[in-house]
Copies of this chain bind each other. A is one copy, B any other.
Amino acid sequence: MRVLGVDPGLTRLGIAVVDGGLGRAVRAVAVDVIRTPADDELATRLLKVADGVEAWLDRHRPDVVAIERVFSQHNVRTAMGTAQAAGVVALAAARRDLPVMFHTPSEVKAAVTGSGRADKAQVTTMVTRLLRLTEAPKPADAADALALAICHLWRAPVRNRMAEAEARAAELAKAHRARLAEAAKSGGRRPAGGAAATPNSRAAGSRAVGS
């Protein structure tokens, strides 16, 4: 699977493509930073971000786009610009029917360093190590984009297994309710299925599939 990772921003937007296959092996395909001048109009800056990202989508044809989710920042104006850059990236992906996933900074840090509170230097060190790069990616936005793509490759299977487990549990619960209804109709006898027909059946199903 090929992931385009984006650390959004108007002044500097980190962008990276990482391939991941079986197991934990990841390979960096490309990494760079898209910059827009601070004295340009907002609309012009967003257009430059959009054009830059579309060029990457054309060149690298990723299967999925992973974007860092930004909740808040010290500076409200900066946070808005960052959110808008992220929105423009998500729009470009949606126009090509590519799935878009958001990961929080702490999810990204935890994925590559083991700690959600790791600092930038630690993230850069681990990204360099995991991707077996000969030198550390710079600036931090570029390293973050790589970390984000790795995070997506490693978290997506976990998320998918959880979603599958939830769907399976929901099915089991539905079948169980149907059996109960059937039993009620046929005279209030204890439904077939014994132990499965307990209030814990959903959780039990979830555990069985999710483990």
Interface, chain A (partner B; CB < 8 A): 41-44, 46-47, 50, 70-72, 76-77, 79-80, 83-88, 90-91, 93-95, 100, 102
Which B residue's beta carbon lies closest to that of A77?
B71
Q: A46-B87, A50-B95 are in contact. List 12 more A-B contacts (CB 8 A).
A: A41-B100, A42-B102, A43-B91, A43-B93, A46-B90, A46-B94, A47-B91, A70-B80, A79-B80, A84-B86, A84-B90, A91-B91
Q: Which of A46, A84, A87, A90 has the most CB of B within 10 A?
A: A87
Q: Looking at the complex, which one of B44, B50, B87, B91 makes contact with A83 (CB distance below 8 Å)?
A: B87
Which B residue's beta carbon lies closest to that of A46?
B91
Cα–Cα distance between A183 and B77 once the two chains are bound (Å)? 46
Cα–Cα distance between A47 and B100 once the two chains are bound (Å)? 12
Cα–Cα distance between A100 and B47 once the two chains are bound (Å)? 12
Contact between chains at A100 and B70 (CB < 8 Å): no
Question: Known interface pairs A42-B102, A102-B42. Does A47 touch B95 (Cβ–Cβ under 8 Å)?
Answer: yes
Question: Known interface pairs A43-B93, A47-B95, A90-B46. Does A72 touch B83 (Cβ–Cβ under 8 Å)?
Answer: no
Which B residue's beta carbon lies closest to that of A85?
B87
Contact between chains at B90 and A87 (CB < 8 Å): no
**10 closest A-B pairs by CB:** A84-B87, A43-B94, A43-B90, A43-B100, A47-B94, A80-B83, A83-B83, A46-B91, A87-B87, A72-B76
Inter-chain contacts of A46 with B (CB < 8 A): 87, 90-91, 94
Which B residue's beta carbon lies closest to that of A89?
B43
Chain B nearest CB from A161 CB (Å) reads 20
Cα–Cα distance between A118 and B210 once the two chains are bound (Å)? 55
Which B residue's beta carbon lies closest to that of A49?
B91
